[in-house]
Amino acid sequence: MKTTARKELVLLHSEKSCAHGTTQAWLKNRLWIQAHHHIFMPMRPPNMGSSRNPQFLPQFLRAQDRKNTMGSINTLNSIKGQIEKYYSIRVPTFGRFLSRKSGPSGLQAAASNDFARLARRLCGKSVALVLGGGGARGIGHIGIIRSMEEAGIPIDIIGGTSIGSFVGGLYARDGDPVAMFGRAKMFSGRMTSVWRQVFDLTYPITAWFTGHEFNRGIWKCFMDSQIEDFWLPYFAVTTNITFSRMEVHTKGYAWRYVRASMSLSGYLPPICDNGNMLVDGGYMDNLPVSVAKNMGADVIIAVDVASHDDTSPVHYGDSLSGWWALLQSLNPFWKPNYKIPSIADIQSRLAYVSSVAKLEEAKVTKGCIYMKLPVQKWATLEFDKFDDILKAGYDYGKDMVAKWKKEGIVPGRLQPVAEGTMEVQEGLKAGRIGRRNSI
């Protein structure tokens, strides 16, 4: 009988890791699979016998192997009981993770439990973390993840754009914040090396840099790992300039799509993928909340690290002389109340027109928690400020978690009161999903 129900594959692992390239073998002949999940469950106690050919074993060892096999079957049968256990209990929503009375260790155990993640998926209560682009300011994402782990807030889906895809990929790869920190620190160190940048300069027909050193830095963080093998569901967003559309990548070599998602036009050449040219996903959607929503997330924590847009009015008349603008910029006594835009400023604003519209849509998406990290004082390439940016993100994350707990809302549903203002709707207690425009 045909069915339209979603079909998702659950892969059980005896260790909390996935060897590179093994997931693809399960998926390539199962085209009807819409998603897959990596779940940690020891299939056999470590003291059991190893896999041996019974044909060459003595009789008593054959009996022992049969006993071990039955033990494995019983262990597999216990999976049903474990799933029923998590499925029968009311699955905690985002707010209930904040309102728990247990200590941090219990919260961390609940958040890291793979069966709990699977149960949230089955019940439609998945929590997604969407990380926006912003260059070095994206180091603050690491601080946010750290604060969420300490508070016991689970991350079931993670992804993002540009530096957000980089940090998200590092965490999704193993679900290990320590490894994420180490690899991000190594990459930042390479980005601050002047000699690496100088030797990578080229004649700027396509871009100022060849991209070799940047590629090498990304590859050292991800090696040859594939997105399918990541422990957590992950996505990276790029801009396809061949067909003028946004691309969402959930499979393939991770380093290539992370590199494509971080490819600023003019600085790095586009990544060629099956004949298509891919550049920074921020040109289309710098905070891809809609992608996480389409992947089944119920609560979406969206972290924005982009710089502030200058919306101050400009008045220079109906025509503008470049010579006049140059002379005025050299005049120390001329202090205008507006900034004359350069060609690069105008091109940059045009490039991000679509992204700005998407950001406004993301802020009012149902179940979205929008956060703007206070990292705007750092420039896009200030990777040498790694520790300062990380601390800013961590402190902000801790403050927001404390605020959510204090308010008892998760977070409040916002309701328009007057033009340009929003008000928290009363009566929305912890455990109910709401919508928030900004925090």
Tokens 């001329």 -> residue: 334
> How would DSSP label each residue in 68-136?
HHHHHHHHHHHHHHHHHHHHHSPPP-HHHHHS--S-HHHHHHHHH-HHHHHHHHHHT-EEEEEE---GG
Residues 74, 45 contacting (CB under 8 angstroms): no
Three-class DSSP category at 157: strand
Q: How far is CA 258 from CA 55, 78, 241, 266, 358, in A?
A: 49, 39, 16, 17, 21
Supply 389's token pair: 């940016």
Nearest to 438 by CA among 301, 283, 306: 301
Across 213-253, where does the E strand assignment appear? Answer: 234-240, 245-249
Q: In whole angstroms, what is the distance from residue 91 CA to residue 64 CA?
A: 41
Q: In whole angstroms, what is the distance from residue 416 CA to residue 254 CA?
A: 41
Residues 221, 187 contacting (CB under 8 angstroms): yes
SS3 letters across 164-182: HHHHHHHHHHHCCHHHHHH
Q: In whole angstroms, what is the distance from residue 332 CA to residue 146 CA?
A: 47
Q: In whole angstroms, what is the distance from residue 307 CA to residue 140 CA?
A: 13
Q: What is the largest CA-CA distance in the chain?
A: 99
Q: In whole angstroms, what is the distance from residue 227 CA to residue 255 CA?
A: 9
Which residues, in sequence order, are CB contacts of 112 under 8 Å at separation 6+?
154, 175
Nearest to 159 by CA among 17, 33, 38, 286: 286
For residue 249, report the phi and psi dihedrals to the nearest 5 degrees.
-110, 120
Active-site residues: which are they? 162, 280
Q: How far is CA 192 from CA 185, 187, 188, 307, 425, in A?
A: 11, 9, 6, 20, 46
Q: In whole angstroms, what is the distance from residue 43 CA to residue 72 CA?
A: 6
Q: In whole angstroms, what is the distance from residue 38 CA to residue 17 CA?
A: 9
